[in-house]
């Protein structure tokens, strides 16, 4: 039985490792299957796929971590094994990239009220073409001396508690689920941890999610056990990964260690192969 990590970020979003380095690093950590799951983009996956297709040691499956609007709250949904060329996926990533930009501008306005002068151009430069996220804003705040550390930027200015309801134009959770399944993929609730009550998890299941991240570095043993029980009682895929961001900021030490058994990926594959049977002529419309 092999090891899989289905939660990895690259420079296409807020990761610090290039897609090609993610592949070589995964090989050196003896991972058998990985998914690159950047925030609201598949650009990292597409770049890594060109390299992974020539490597026998590793398999790369299509992945993305989509930010959805779950009744006014942002909810991270992982999606796997969808058809990357599907027009509805292309449309979703386009809408979400724009949403991230506008959301970044909104956050800058909130920070201006505290006397911090940031320009969206500085945030874009920090993101180097990747999708904009709060980590890039945190880095600019630190560069400009407004905070002493990345951590301080989050704790004092960028956390959900500090910002309140963050303006966004993301798809609703139901629309994300419909889009991904329509493109032959599966949807998994990311790092549920203490984020959701059981009732909220039930609501996500009723909306059609296929799986839940049981294994995640933020999960205590008790949470992991609860999520495993929840997955079993609701017949959900048991997924997981390291949420590696390629630096010491997020889960560096968990890469290659926080993994799932490749058997779980076989279940995911079986489910999505069924969904892809009826997909045809899906690439032309967008
Ligand atoms: P965004 O995608 O703009 O909502 O930013 C969320 C990202 O910021 C997450 O994916 C993490 O990479 C990072 N993040 C969230 N909360 C924290 C925190 N408290 N400290 C450090 N990084 C965080
Ligand atoms: Mn992130
Ligand atoms: Mn997340
Ligand atoms: Mn993540």
The closest alpha carbon to 269, from 210, 205, 209, 216, belongs to 210
What would you report as the CA-atom Rg of the chain, rounded to the nearest whole angstrom? 18
140 pLDDT exceeds 60?
yes
Nearest CA to ligand 1 atom 14: 135
Q: What is the pLDDT of residue 282?
A: 73
Mean pLDDT, rounded, for 108-120? 97
Q: Is residue 154 within 6 Å of ligand 1 at its C-beta? A: yes
Q: Is residue 103 within 6 Å of ligand 1 at its C-beta? A: no
Looking at every residue in the chain, the average pLDDT score rounds to 95
Planar angle of CA 237, 238, 244, nearest 5 degrees = 120
Q: What is the pLDDT of residue 249?
A: 59
Give per-residue pLDDT as tens, 203-235.
999 999 999 999 999 999 999 999 999 999 999
Atom of ligand 1 nearest to the CA of 137: 3
Q: What is the pLDDT of residue 16?
A: 94
Give per-residue pLDDT as tens, 77-91.
999 999 999 999 999
137 pLDDT exceeds 70?
yes
How does residue 279 score in pLDDT terms, banded at 50, 70 and 90?
confident
Q: Determine the 3-state secondary structure of 164 from DSSP.
A: coil
Q: What is the pLDDT of residue 281?
A: 64
The closest alpha carbon to 218, from 229, 227, 231, belongs to 227
Residue that wins the pLDDT comparison between 286 and 105 = 105
For residue 37, give the ligand nearest its CA.
Answer: 4
The closest alpha carbon to 160, from 198, 125, 195, 118, belongs to 195
Q: What is the pLDDT of residue 268?
A: 98
CA of 8 to the centre of ligand 2 (A): 9
CA of 244 to the centre of ligand 4 (A): 7
């Amino acid at each position: 039985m092999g090891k899989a990590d289905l939660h990895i970020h690259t420079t296409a979003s807020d990761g610090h490792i290039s897609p090609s380095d993610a592949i070589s690093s995964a090989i050196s950590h003896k991972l058998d299957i990985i998914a690159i799951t950047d925030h609201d983009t598949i650009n990292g996956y597409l770049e890594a796929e060109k390299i992974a297709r020539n490597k026998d040691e590793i398999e790369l499956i299509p992945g993305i971590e989509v930010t959805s609007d779950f009744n006014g709250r942002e909810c991270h949904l992982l999606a796997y094994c969808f058809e990357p060329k599907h027009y509805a996926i292309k449309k979703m990533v386009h809408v979400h990239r724009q949403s991230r930009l506008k959301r970044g501008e909104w956050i800058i306005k909130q920070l201006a009220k505290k006397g911090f002068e940031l320009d969206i151009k500085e945030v874009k430069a920090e993101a180097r073409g990747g999708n904009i996220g709060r980590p890039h804003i945190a880095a600019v705040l630190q560069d400009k001396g407004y905070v002493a550390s990345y951590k301080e930027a989050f704790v004092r200015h960028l956390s959900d508690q500090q910002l309140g309801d963050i303006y966004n134009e993301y798809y609703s959770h139901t629309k994300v689920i419909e889009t991904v399944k329509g493109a032959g993929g599966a949807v998994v609730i990311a790092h549920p941890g203490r984020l959701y009550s059981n009732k909220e998890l039930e609501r996500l299941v009723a909306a059609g999610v296929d799986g839940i991240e049981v294994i995640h570095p933020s999960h205590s043993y008790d949470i992991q056990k609860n999520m495993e029980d929840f997955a079993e009682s609701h017949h959900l895929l048991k997924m997981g990964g390291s949420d590696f961001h390629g630096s010491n900021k997020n889960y560096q030490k968990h890469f290659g260690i926080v993994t799932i058994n490749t058997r779980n990926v076989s279940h995911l594959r079986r489910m999505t192969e069924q969904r892809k049977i009826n997909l045809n002529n899906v690439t032309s419309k967008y």
